[in-house]
Amino acid sequence: MPCWIDTHCHLDAPEFAADLPAVRQQARALGVRCCVIAAVHASTFDEARQAAHRLGDAYALGTHPLYVPQAGEDAAQQLAAALQAHAGDARLVAVGEIGLDFFAPALAAPPWRERQQALFRQQLKLARRHGLPVILHSRHAVDAVLRHLRETGPHTGIAHAFSGSEQQARAFIDLGFKLGFGGACTFERATRLRHLAAALPLEALVLETDAPDMPPHWLYATARQRASGQLQGRNTPAELPRIAAVIAGLRGMPVQALAEAAWRNTLEALPRLAGLGLD
């Protein structure tokens, strides 16, 4: 059976509070050997860390751009303190989820646009100081993210849920980043994304679920379906092998070959994972 690493999920989210051990065991039974739990706000740092230790997984710490309005002026200081406190923790593998989000009009306008970028740069500098890769969020902001990476780098890590152009993808690759692909690739209408998943160099790809967010097409319910009473399926790391099978099909390659490449790529992007005895 192929072995997988879910490079991005949120197992500390409230959606998993009632049955987290069972959720994780289901994924493990399907070959998901490790999940990287990405924190989104200082208030979730402890939950992400504790979940990773309890489940035998890994975690990243950072403030997500969508949480910048809730973050205090001391958000960078809180991250600095947490990184220092847990510097010796082998399960702390990255700074993340950090980045920029200019999709929501309120966040794309002053003052939050500037606040996002200032905090992003502070978090990038902390990652460099602690020798950690970064896990990046970028929505309608890829060029800005790339600019800040170049100005504060060098950096390495993962561009999570990549959805930019092929030119932007190759810009990330040139900087040494891997690109995260997940459930969005399972939608036939996502033609550009599916092209990227098929055409980009194999050594640039890593796999993720973003659970409980970004469900694959077999879990997704449209607004009309939800209005008629159909429930949205909950995305979990157990969906990763099936998502990977779709991506392998797009690339015309065996699932096992994709699993081996994605595993190797993930360890390159997040080197501390190698110390967790996953092999």
The secondary structure of the chain, three-state, reads CCCEEEEEECCCCHHHCCCHHHHHHHHHHCCEEEEEEECCCHHHHHHHHHHHHHHCCEEEECCCHHHHHHCCCCHHHHHHHHHHHCCCCCCEEEEEEEEEECCCHHHHCCCHHHHHHHHHHHHHHHHHHCCCCEEEEEECCHHHHHHHHHHHCCCCEEECCCCCCHHHHHHHHHCCEEEEECHHHHCCCCHHHHHHHHHCCHHHEEECCCCCCCCCCCCCCCHHHHHCCCCCCCCCHHHHHHHHHHHHHHHCCCHHHHHHHHHHHHHHHCHHHHHHCCC
What is d(CA 87, CA 70) in angstroms, rounded to the nearest whole number? 26
Return the pLDDT at 231.
66
**279 annotated ligand-binding residue:** no
Q: Is the pTM value of this prediction over 0.85?
A: yes
Residue pair 134/94 in contact by the 8 Å Cβ criterion: yes
- Total structural domains within the chain: 1
**41 annotated ligand-binding residue:** no
- Please give the share of the chain, as a percent, with pLDDT higher than 70: 98
**174 annotated ligand-binding residue:** no
Return the pLDDT at 230.
66
What is d(CA 197, CA 179) in angstroms, rounded to the nearest whole number? 9
**148 annotated ligand-binding residue:** no
- What is the span of the domain harbouring residue 15? 4-276
Return the pLDDT at 229.
65
Q: What is the CATH number of the domain that holds 231?
A: 3.20.20.140
Report the mean per-residue pLDDT for the chain.
Answer: 96
Return the pLDDT at 227.
73
Which residues sit opposite 95 in a β-bridge?
61, 134
Residues of the chain with pLDDT under 70: 223, 229-231, 279
- From first CA to last CA, the distance across the chain in angstroms is 13
> What digits encode the pLDDT tens for the residues 235-258?
999 999 999 999 999 999 999 999
Q: Tokens for 233?
A: 């399926």
Return the pLDDT at 225.
72
**10 annotated ligand-binding residue:** yes
**210 annotated ligand-binding residue:** yes
